Amino acid sequence: MNPYPHPIIAREGWPFLALAVGVSAGVTWIGGWWSAPFWLVALFVLQFFRDPARPIPTAANLVLAPADGRIVVVGKARDPYLDRDALKISVFMNVFNVHSNRSPVDGEIRNAWYHPGSFLNAALDKASLENERNALHIVTNNGAAITCVQVAGLVARRILCYVKPGDRLARGQRYGFIRFGSRVDLYLPPDARPLVQVGDKVAASASVLAELPG
């Protein structure tokens, strides 16, 4: 799968932006300055669906941020997909963050799981097991197993994932999108070394979350 090009505005947002601008222009033509609130909505849509290119660290043992946002979990956990002990790192995205999701490592997708569920506040840890979610099992070129989970949030109602088992991902490659507030959970080998802490703000593919052993 070829890396997704960076057109500045994510393709998922093109229909929404076209509608917002069209309605705003129509109201401007009819009502002049009364259209100001509509242009504010169009501006919000524009910033929400922005999809900037990012620098990508190249060291093979680094785990990169799969999403923009704030770190809400760093600690030991049980990986419910691979049934193993793990280091869990979670990134919470609010409505002002970039919402495209990018691969944290170079590797092959070995399995994928989709679970329908609730739409709790994604900042809550229980959202990892109760909300709608899509998980990918990725094995790195060095054999490390990583689980990367897109989790819907309180407002989010659509998880988009464009890859499947057998596909290979390059670090920083765009593989999915979650509309509106949500989170991404990473389950790493338990001996991975975290390089972030709760409260840190991170940028997808540009920020390093952890270092894998070896």
Alpha carbons 192 and 188: distance in angstroms, whole number: 7
Together in a domain, 43 and 72: no
Question: Does 38 share its domain with 127?
Answer: no
Its domain, for residue 158, covers 62-211
The pLDDT score that the predictor gives to residue 2 is 47
- The pairing of strands 174-178 and 168-169 is unpaired
Q: Does residue 164 lie in a domain region?
A: yes
Does one domain contain both 107 and 191? Answer: yes
Q: What is the pLDDT along the chain (214 residues), one digit of tens a residue?
A: 445 555 677 777 788 878 988 888 888 888 777 788 888 988 887 877 788 888 899 888 999 999 999 999 999 999 999 999 999 999 998 888 888 899 999 999 999 999 886 656 555 566 566 678 899 999 999 999 999 999 986 655 578 899 999 999 999 999 998 876 688 999 999 999 999 999 999 999 999 999 998 7
Whether the Cβ atoms of residue 209 and residue 202 lie closer than 8 Å to each other: yes
Co-location of 40 and 81 in the same domain: no
The pLDDT, as a whole number, for residue 95 is: 80
Q: What is the pTM of this model?
A: 0.84
Q: How many structural domains does the chain have? A: 2
Segment (H or E) for 167: none
The reply to whether 120 and 159 lie within a common domain is yes
pLDDT at 163: 94
Res 180: pLDDT: 66
The one catalytic residue in 24, 182, 205, 207 is 182
Cα separation of 181 and 125, whole Å?
14
Angstrom distance (rounded) from CA 166 to CA 110: 6
What is the pLDDT at residue 1? Answer: 44
Tokens 């670090």 found at: 171
Q: CATH number of the domain that 87 lies in?
A: 2.70.70.10
Judge if 22 and 68 occupy the same domain. no
Is residue 207 annotated as part of the catalytic site, yes or no?
no
